[in-house]
Amino acid sequence: MLEVEYCQLTDPGPTRARNEDYLGVVAPDTAQDARNRGWLLALADGVGGLRMGYVASRTAVESVKDGYRRAPDGEMLTTTMARLVQQANTAVHAAAREAGPDGSGMATTLVMAALRYDRAVIAHVGDSRCYHIRGERVTFVTSDHTIVNEQRLMGLITVQEQEESGICHILSRALGTELFVSPEISEVSLMKDDLLLLCSDGLHNGMKDADLRRMVATGGSLEEMGARLLQHGLTEYGEDNTSLVLARVLDVERTAMYRGRQYKAR
């Protein structure tokens, strides 16, 4: 059976009066629940330049948590995640309407990972990130939905021009900006001792892969590792809310597919 430990940490940062990040985890209650549904990790970063970003982030995470608990047993995680993103987008729109004029422009990023058996399915909108860490290898699973990053992917600007751009934090996609949203969904295989890190830009803006490898290699408990990462983000960047959800895989249950059915592999 898949076994996971996790920690979640957030700090408004020294320059922000309000924390617009919001975190959430859905853990299985039983071994059967772990097989049927698995684990959900979620993090949202309310868009700071718009109104009530803190309401948008909380609404998005609570929506996906509720939807994940209600998901049909054994449903394909890619199907579940795509539906949850759309439901969260609808929930943010509804919250904006209920808030009246103060809710105009309400928006948030969202990154979440669903873990079951020996796989993780990651869905994201915006520039909150997911990293997969195995030993010394750090894999950046998500791709920032920012205007300059998409310009770089199209070959219109260089990496250096992207880093030096004055609009590097302007999102090209977010929950709440349109009636329908297009998430990116990816999948990674899991092994014992793998780490998954979900974080807001308050952390990754001040962190390089070498920093992440060094702080993971230092060892200690998961909570100590998470505290080092959080402090690094606050020290190196410190201009935004800083948040993370860190999970370590303690054991996996190998599976395979045969004629569309999933079964336990020996």
User: Can you tell me the mean pLDDT for 104-117?
Assistant: 94
Whether 150 has a pLDDT exceeding 90, the answer reads: no
Binning pLDDT at 50, 70 and 90, where does residue 131 land? Answer: very high
Task: Check the CA dihedral 218-221-224-229 and report its sign.
Answer: positive
Helices (H), 45-113: 53-70, 77-99
pLDDT score recorded for residue 121: 98
On the question of pLDDT at 261 being above 60, the answer is: no
Considering the domain 3-251, what is its CATH architecture? Answer: 4-Layer Sandwich (3.60)
Q: Looking at per-residue confidence, does 209 or 117 come out higher?
A: 117
Residue 254 has pLDDT above 50, yes or no: yes
Alpha-carbon span 35 to 117, nearest angstrom = 7
CA distances in angstroms from 204 to 42, 68, 104, 115, 123, listed in the order given: 16, 27, 28, 22, 18
The two tokens of residue 171 are 């999102």
pLDDT, the chain, mean:
88
Q: Where are the domains of the chain?
A: 3-251
Q: Calculate mean pLDDT across residues 79-93.
A: 97
Query: pLDDT at position 152, please?
Result: 64
Q: What mean pLDDT comes out for the span 52-78?
A: 95
User: Residue 256 has what pLDDT?
Assistant: 57
pLDDT of residue 264: 61
Exposed/middle/buried for 231, CB within 10 Å: 0-12, 13-18, 19+?
A: middle
Q: What is the pTM of this model?
A: 0.91
Mean pLDDT along residues 94-100: 88
